[in-house]
Amino acid sequence: MDQAVALIDAADQFLQSAIAIHRSDAVLMQHACVLATRRLSMLAARAAEAPDDPAALSRYCGDAVQADPRAAGTLEVLAMAWLTIAAAHDVRGESDAARVAFARSSAVISPSLADAAVRVESRLLFARAELGLARLNLHIPERAEPHYDRCIAELQRLVTTTPAYLPGLISLGEAHRDRGRFLANYKRDVEPDYAAAERHLRRAVTLSPDSVPAHEALSKTLLFRFYQARDADFERALGFARAAIDAQDQVLSRQPDRPDAAFNQAANFGDLWTYMAERAPSDQVSATLPTLQQALQLFERVRALAPQRPDTYEFDIGFRAQAGEILRVAEQPRITLLEPVPRLIDAAAANAVRLNESYVAWALTELAPATAATGSSETTRIFDQARASLDRTLAVADERHEAIRMSLPWAAQRARWAMTRQEAPTPWLEFGERLLNEALATERGKGDNIIACEGAALLAQKARYGATTTRIAAAEEGLALFRACAALSARYFQRFRKESDQLTLVLATLRNVGGAPVSSLPTSQR
C-alpha cells in the first residue's frame, strides 16, 4: 500500500507541473482531484483522518469546479470525492459526518441522471451514494428502504444498457445483498435479493476472474446466505460459510497486506466458529476453538496494519465475549480467551479509538464471573466498569436497543454475583426487568430473539432469588419468553435450553411449596 501511495504522489507531482503550464485546463484538474481521492481511499483503510470537503482534500477539486462547474466530468470527480470522504469517515466510526458526505455526493450527481446521454459513471456514483445512505440508516427502515430502492433501480438501468460493465454488476450485486440483509432484520423475505446478488456477482467473477472487488463482494454475499440458511440446514449453511472463506482467499492471495481483506476473512472465520461452537456438544466446544484462533490472529494482523480502525478491536472483543458466553454455558474454561479484553480496550484508547460501548460491556460481563471463578479480587470492579459502559450507551437513543440487549445478561450475572456474596440481588434484577419491559413494549423488541432469551434468563434469576411473592410469576413469564425465543431462533435458543429446562423444574417446585426461598430448592434448580 505504501508503494501505491508513493506512486500516486509521484503522479500528482507530474500533474501539478502540467497544471502550472495549462492553468485553466479543467480535465487536468479533474485528474488531480481523482488522484487525491484514490490516495485518501488507500489511507482510509488505515483509518486516516478524513477532510471536511473536496476542497480540503485537494485544492484541485475546488479548482475543477471553478474551471468548468457544469461538465459531467467535474460533477463526477466531485461526487467521487464526497463518496471517498464519506467512506473515510465511516471507517473511523464517524457516522454523522459520513451521512452528510454521502448525501452531498448524491446531491451533486443526481441532476446528471436526467440527461438522455447520462454516463455510466454518473449512474454508478449516484447508486453508491444511495447505498451508503441506506447502510447508515440500517435501523431506521422508513429512511433506509427508499435509498436501497433508488440505488437498485439506477443500477438495473445501468446493467441493462451496459451488461458487461464490471463495476455496475458488482455494485448491483452488493446492493441486492445489502437490501437482503436489511430485510432480514425485519423478518421479511430475503431470498430474491440474495439470489440476485449471487447471480450478478458470479457473472462478474466469470467476466473478470482476477477482479478483487468481485471476489470480495461474492464472499460477503455467500456469508449472508450462510446467515440465512444456518437455522434451517446445517450442511447447506456450512457450504455457504466455507465458500465465503474460499472466495476471500482469492482476495487475500492478491492483496495480503490490505487491511480490509484480512479483516473480512477474520470475520468469516469468526462467524464459522460461532456456528460450529453453538451446535457442538458441551464437551466438544473446545475442539472448535482453532477456527476462532484463526479469526483472532487475523484481527491482530489488521491492527498491526491499521491500529486506528475501531472494528478490529470491536470484533475481536465481540468474538471473545461470545466465546466466553458459549464456554460458560458449556461449563468449559474461558478465562484465557477473556483475559486479553482489558488490554484490547486500553490499546484502543491509546490509539484514540472510540469503541462500541455495548461490545465492551458484553465482554466485561463475561470476564467478571470468569475472574470470580479464579478467586480474583477484580470481579466487582469489572462488573462496575461494564455497567458504566452500558449507562453511556443507554443514554444514546440510536444505540439504546443494542444496549438493552447487553444490559439483560449483565443484570442477571450481577444478581448472581450478589447472591454469592450474600448481598441483596434486588437492585440488579429491577434494573434488568425495567429495561426488559421497555424493550418488549416495542415491535422490534418483541421480534428480537436475544431480548427474549436474555430476558428469560434474567427472569429465571428472579424466580430463584426474587421476593417470594413474585417468584412464580417470574418463572411463568421467563418460560413464556424462552418459548418465544425458540420460535424466533431455534439456533440461538440452544444455548439457553439447559436454563429453560431448569426453570421448568424451578416452577414446578415453587408451585408445590408456594414460592419457597431459594435455599429450600434442590441445588440443581437454584
Q: What is the pLDDT of residues 300-315, one digit of tens each?
A: 999 999 999 999 999 9
Q: How many CB atoms lie within 10 A of CB 496?
A: 22
Mean of the pLDDT values across residues 451-470? 91
Q: Residue 346 contacts by C-beta under 8 Å, 6 or more apart in sequence?
A: none
Mean pLDDT confidence for 211-239: 93
- Classify residue 90: in a domain, yes or no: no
Which range is least confidently modeled, 180-194, 423-437, 479-493? Answer: 180-194
Q: Is residue 10 over pLDDT 50?
A: no
The fraction of the chain above a pLDDT of 90, given in percent, is: 60
Condensed to tens digits (0 to 9), the pLDDT of residues 249-273 reads 999 999 999 999 999 999 999 999 9
In a 13 Å sphere around the CA of 436, the CA atoms on its Cβ side amount to 27
User: Is residue 32 one of the residues assigned to a domain?
Assistant: no
* Ranges 109-113, 220-224, 277-281: which has the least confidence: 109-113
Lowest mean pLDDT among 419-433, 457-471, 495-509: 457-471
pLDDT at 27: 61
* Torsions phi, psi for 13 (to 5 deg): -60, -40
In a domain, 480, yes or no: yes
Residue 43 lies in a domain: no
pLDDT level of residue 371 (50, 70, 90 thresholds): very high
Residue 122 lies in a domain: no
SS3 assignment, position 58 = coil
Kindly report, residue by residue over 72-100, the tens digit of the pLDDT.
Answer: 777 787 888 887 888 888 778 888 888 88
Does 114 score more than 50 pLDDT?
Answer: yes
Q: pLDDT at position 117, please? A: 60
Residue 522 has what pLDDT?
A: 43
pLDDT at 90: 79
In a domain, 185, yes or no: no
DSSP H helix total and E strand total for the chain = 26, 0
Residue length, the chain? 526
Q: What is the mean pLDDT of residues 424-437?
A: 96
| Nearest alpha carbon to residue 134 among 161, 104, 103, 105 | 103
Tell me what pLDDT residue 225 has. 95
Q: For residue 354, is it within any domain?
A: no
Q: Which residues contact 431 (CB under 8 A, 6 or more apart)?
A: 407, 411
| pLDDT (mean) for 357-386 | 92
Q: What is the pLDDT of residues 15-69, one digit of tens each?
A: 454 444 444 555 665 667 767 777 766 766 666 677 777 777 766 676 665 656 6
347: pLDDT strictly greater than 90: yes
Residue 465 domain boundaries? 416-526
pLDDT of residue 21: 40
For residue 22, what pLDDT is reported?
Answer: 42
Torsion 409-410-412-413 (CA) sign: positive
Structure confidence at residue 156 (pLDDT): 94
Cα torsion through 6, 8, 10, 11, rounded to 10: 170
From the list 155, 158, 126, 132, the residue with the least C-alpha distance to 144 is 132
Q: What is the largest CA-CA distance in the chain?
A: 95
Which amino acid, one-letter code, is at 380?
T
Residue 2 confidence class, pLDDT cut points 50, 70, 90:
low
Residue 34 has a pLDDT of 67
Asked whether residue 511 is assigned to any structural domain, the reply reads yes
Number of domains in the chain: 1
The closest of 274, 364, 354 to 317, measured between CA atoms, is 364
Q: What is the pLDDT of residue 362?
A: 94
